[in-house]
Structure 1
Amino acid sequence: MSNYLHQFVYGIYPYIALAIFFLGSLIRFDREQYTWKSDSSQLLHRGSLRLGNILFHIGIIGLLFGHAAGLLTPVWVWDTLGVTHSLKQGVAMAAGGIMGGLCLAGLLILLLRRFSNDRLRAVTTAGDKLVMLWILLTLLLGLSSIFVSASHMDGHMMVLLMNWAQHIVTFRADAASFIVEAPLIFKLHLFMGMSLFVIFPFTRLVHVWSGFGAVAYLGRAYQLVRRR
């Protein structure tokens, strides 16, 4: 990969992806609220939906928060807590493997359910197929990277990835330089993950925002229903 392409993909593209993610979601919510839904297919065919949904959502939520905490927590915090780089890498590999495995199992169940049923297959859009395929490939790359990580348990590459992510979110121009020598599988996983933010506003993934918004219900006053 040329230096220019590397700088673009890992130094500029993250901001393009985040801009599309936030602005696209905002515009869709403002202009197309009736499309802001998860398009549940439970009424068409229940089958293995519950098991697949539970496994998939537990796994992907665990991966989301695990990646956020692992990549964005400053290195000095772990050092202060006495957590060595090799230990953190080991914990990240174990947690990522478990959550990734749950997510993959759930996704495969949902894929089998959707494409083995004629009615579900008929209502599956191109966007649905793109989302499922993209998440599947991203998952497979992430799980495969565990085996690459196992060959160097010193935590060096993990720290470089943390520095990259933290320099991106703090708008520092040298972010891409940290992962120049990263194995290809890590770079592909990063690209696929960032691209999920690009396709997010144009697919049913927007219902994730509603999940976070539902937390507001916890502080809402009780709704009173009176008899006539």
Structure 2
Amino acid sequence: MNATDAQLFWWVALPYFALGVFVVGHVWRWRYDQFGWTSRSTQLQERRLLKWGGPIFHYGTFAAIAGHVIGVLIPERWTRAIGIPEQAYRWFSASAGTVAAVLVIAGIVVLATRRLFVPRVRATTAPIDYVALTLLLVIVLTGIIPTIGINLFGHGYDYRTSVAPWFRGLFAGSPDVQAIAHAPIIYQVHATAAWLIWGVWPFSRLVHAWSYPLWYLWRPYIVFRSRVAAHPHEPGTGGRKWRKIGVPY
């Protein structure tokens, strides 16, 4: 395999293969493993770390996705056409991207700590979950390093004129292989890890992202019997109280 064939495999065949696995894998998972189509919540095993790690990770991820939509999917000429100077865009991208990346890293560290050091949580963790967490960490680190170390000081590689057109070209059926093949290695690692996690996604607990239970917001709580004895003279309690907990059923 010569260099050209390797580039075609890495930057054309691999992305399309990952996209195929992503789509077919979700269809297969939905048809044959609907009961497993959840985040396999471990809240009952450990709550304290999850209370902080879960929201931090999810909010950081949403912010990072929004940044990628603006920076990769929206062409540079569009932001210029609406009057956003490139220097202002780079400053905002670096600042917001750094905050999002720090949140995602903090969330991953907390969630990974739960899975590694809380025995009851570790017992419910599949190997594919560790693979997904590792890929997420690689994606975040390779994304934040050029953002903080290069773009923040105005001397960064212009991925909007190289990596971004290659990515958009994949969905248009005409990817610019040379654009990504000549990009700095850190961008190539970032892109490769992203495609790998697309392939892993259908087989991990990440599938719950597509079935976010918005109805949790207005669903009633489960009522559990409290273990704390009620006042002996309180009528109708039988020595026990009913109370609501913070987890909807």
Q: TM-score, normalised by structure 1?
A: 0.86
Which amino acid counterpart does residue 166 of structure 1 have in structure 2? R
How do 1:74-93 residues align onto structure 2 when only pairs under 5 Å count? 74-93=75-94
For 1:167, the equivalent position in structure 2 comes to 169
Deviations, residues 146-189 of structure 1 (Å, cap 9, x unaligned): 224446537633321221122112111x4212122211001000
For 2:126, the equivalent position in structure 1 comes to 125
1:145 Cα offset (Å):
2.3
Superposition RMSD on alpha carbons, in Å? Answer: 2.2
1:70 Cα offset (Å):
1.8
Is the Cα–Cα contact under 8 Å of residues 89 and 158 in structure 1 kept in the other structure?
A: no
Between the aligned partners of 1:180 and 1:151, the Cα distance in structure 2 is 25
Which amino acid counterpart does residue 38 of structure 1 have in structure 2? S
For 1:4, the equivalent position in structure 2 comes to 5
How do 1:58-207 residues align onto structure 2 when only pairs under 5 Å count? 58-146=59-147, 147-150=149-152, 153=155, 156-172=158-174, 174-207=175-208
Is the Cα–Cα contact under 8 Å of residues 6 and 176 in structure 1 kept in the other structure?
A: yes
Which amino acid counterpart does residue 80 of structure 2 have in structure 1? D
Is the Cα–Cα contact under 8 Å of residues 63 and 99 in structure 1 kept in the other structure?
A: yes
1:75 Cα offset (Å):
2.5
Is the Cα–Cα contact under 8 Å of residues 90 and 152 in structure 2 kept in the other structure?
A: no
1:13 and 2:14 correspond: yes
1:90 Cα offset (Å):
2.6
Q: Computing the radius of gyration over CA atoms, which structure comes out larger, 1 or 2?
A: 2
Between the aligned partners of 1:124 and 1:163, the Cα distance in structure 2 is 38
Shift in CA distance, 152/14, structure 1 to aligned 2, threshold 3 Å: farther
Between the aligned partners of 2:80 and 2:16, the Cα distance in structure 1 is 29
Is the Cα–Cα contact under 8 Å of residues 114 and 122 in structure 2 kept in the other structure?
A: no
1:48 and 2:49 correspond: yes
Runs (5+) with no aligned partner, structure 1? 223-228
Which amino acid counterpart does residue 158 of structure 1 have in structure 2? R
Q: TM-score, normalised by structure 2?
A: 0.79
Higher helix residue share: 1
Between the aligned partners of 2:40 and 2:79, the Cα distance in structure 1 is 41
Runs (5+) with no aligned partner, structure 2? 220-249
Deviations, residues 32-91 of structure 1 (Å, cap 9, x unaligned): 111111011010111211110010000111112221232111222112112233332332
Between the aligned partners of 2:85 and 2:178, the Cα distance in structure 1 is 24
